[in-house]
Amino acid sequence: MTPAIALRDGARRTAREVLTGYEGPRVRIMEVCGTHTHEIFRQGIRKLLPPSIELVSGPGCPVCVTPVGFIDEAIALALDHGCTIATFGDLMRVPGSSQSLQQARAQGAEVRVVYSPQDAEAYAAAHPGERVAFLSVGFETTTPSSCLAVRQAVEDGVGNFSLLTANKTMPGAYEAMSGSADLFLYPGHVHAITGTRVCEDLASRGVSGVLAGFTARELVAALAVGVTKFAVGDPFFVNCYPRVVTAEGAPAACRLVDQMMEACDARWRGIGVIPGSGMRLRESYAAFDARRRYDLPRIEGRENRACRCGEVLKGACAPMDCPLFGKACTPDHPVGACMVSDEGSCSAFHRYGVDV
Ligand code: SF4
């Protein structure tokens, strides 16, 4: 049974009953996080929702928001600078301007799939004759791990290791997306690191949201709290994942990132440049920054114009609205990043069906 929610009239209903019996105003909820999108599908939660509760995708899949130019930069590092690229498997099939890393590997680029930045650093330590560049993507949840790998390289004296960074932070994306939905379903893992102050601040400026965990019970409860509060009409923030997320977050992880990285402007696929929403290594760690170390020129990248990933990531269209969905673009033959990643919306709609 899902948890009970107290209603305005004093009645209590289970979270599931609140959702299935919702009779309030139409509400549009943005699943900021790709993992939420997949879990909501996988747990069958969409089937509970009446038409007046609309879920739309958001920009919270790290692979999906990584711009085409980043893939081009990685390929240039491999082919023009002789680097060994170490990357999470998801990035292998993301199309660049003219090819993916997988295709570049077939042409002789040295590309290795790793499971963590620590694996990449260990590989560099074991292969001192190679220039190893790790593709560091992700949000507040994964950035500390990249910092730890650099710190390990410093301690181990591993000079052939570097990061090609596309790390991003969520607050700028919340601001950029704040008019796209009535409320956010905030990602629990991001706020386990950052704490909840940014959500509280957004609520004080009229942007509502609920913070959710990842089990069916937690997701149903958060959605039920969200629509119940929304029907009242005032801006709100509720932490529905208090067993993991506190107001302070994880100060040690934040301190580590702050010591080693600094904010920079970052390009998000579909959204464009969000000032201060990226993270790069500080000057004192420049030797571990692949762009500075190899004097990599700026590469803008060319999006495939037929792909509507950018609009999907802004909640401006659904994956099925893309004419390529399920035809020219499938998980086996992805045209855009949202069909590649396990956290991508197009991949979720393709895997679980579009009728729910
Ligand atoms: S279906 Fe494919 S081409 Fe269309 S938006 Fe999604 S990823 Fe891009």
CA nearest ligand 1 atom 1, residue: 325
pLDDT in tens, 80-98: 999 999 999 999 999 999 9
* 137 pLDDT more than 70: yes
Task: Determine the residue of 329, 340, 354 to mutate for testing ligand 1's pocket, defined as the one with the most ligand atoms within 8 A of the Cβ atom.
Answer: 329
**In this model, does residue 258 exceed pLDDT 70?**
yes
Beta strands in 7-101 (DSSP E): 12-14, 27-33, 53-60, 83-87
Question: How many angstroms separate the alpha carbon of residue 130 from the centre of ligand 1?
Answer: 36
Query: What is the per-residue pLDDT for 2?
Result: 62
Q: With respect to residue 124, please indicate whether it lies within any of the assigned structural domains.
A: yes
Provide the pLDDT for residue 123.
98
| Weakest mean pLDDT among 1-15, 23-37, 276-290 | 1-15
Predicted confidence (pLDDT) at residue 108 exceeds the cutoff of 90: yes
Q: What is the pLDDT of residue 269?
A: 85
What CA–CA distance (Å, rounded) separates 355 from 234? 32
Q: Of all protein residues, whose CA lies closest to atom 3 belonging to ligand 1?
A: 307
CA separation for the pair 314, 177 (Å, rounded): 7
Within 305-344, residue ranges assigned H as helices are 309-313, 337-340
pLDDT, tens only, 178-215: 888 999 999 999 999 999 999 999 999 999 999 999 99
**Protein residues with CB under 6 Å of any ligand 1 atom:** 307-309, 312, 319, 322, 324-325, 329, 335-336, 338-339, 346
Task: Give pLDDT, residue 291.
Answer: 97
What's the mean pLDDT in 301-310?
Answer: 88
Q: What Rg, from alpha-carbon coordinates, does the chain have?
A: 21
What is the distance between the alpha carbons of residues 86 and 123, in angstroms, rounded to a whole number? 9
* 60 assigned to some structural domain: no
- 144 located within any domain: yes
Share of the chain above pLDDT 90, in %: 77
Residue at 149 is within a domain: yes
Q: How far apart are CA 7 and CA 13, in angstroms?
A: 8
Residue 254 lies in a domain: yes
What is the rounded distance in angstroms from the CA atom of residue 266 to the CA atom of residue 67?
A: 9
Q: Which residues contact 298 (CB under 8 A, 6 or more apart)?
A: none
pLDDT at 282 over 80: yes
The reported pLDDT for the residue numbered 356 is: 45
Q: Is 277 among the domain residues?
A: yes
Mean pLDDT of 33-45: 91
- Distance from chain centroid for Cα 326: 23
Question: What is the tens place of the pLDDT at every residue in 71-82?
Answer: 999 999 999 999
Question: Do the domain assignments include residue 27?
Answer: no
pLDDT grade, residue 322 (50/70/90)? very high
Using 50, 70 and 90 to split pLDDT, how confident is the model at 25? very high
Ligand 1 centroid from CA 329, angstroms: 6
Mean residue pLDDT of the chain comes to: 93
How many other C-beta atoms can be found within 10 angstroms of the C-beta atom of residue 300?
A: 11
Q: What was the pLDDT predicted at 305?
A: 87
- Give the mean pLDDT of 292-317: 89
Is residue 17 situated within a structural domain? no
The domain tally of the chain equals: 1
| Res 122: pLDDT | 98
Q: What does the alpha-carbon distance between residue 334 and residue 344 come to, in Å, rounded to a whole number? A: 11
Who's near 343: CB < 8 A, 6+ residues apart?
33, 34, 35, 37, 38, 60, 61, 62, 63, 64
Look up the domain containing 107 and give its range: 67-170+249-293
Mean pLDDT of 41-58: 92
Closest ligand 1 atom to 308 CA? 5
- Alpha-carbon distance of 2 to 271, in angstroms, equals 36
Q: How far is the CA of 323 from the centre of ligand 1 (A)?
A: 8
CATH number, position 142 = 3.40.50.11740
Q: For the chain, where are the E strands, in sequence order?
A: 4-6, 12-14, 27-33, 53-60, 83-87, 110-113, 131-138, 161-168, 183-187, 208-212, 237-239, 261-268, 272-281
Distance CA 40, CA 89 (A): 24
pLDDT band per the 50, 70, 90 thresholds, residue 152:
very high
Q: What predicted TM-score, i.e. pTM, was given to this entire model?
A: 0.91
* CA of 78 relative to ligand 1 center, distance in Å: 27
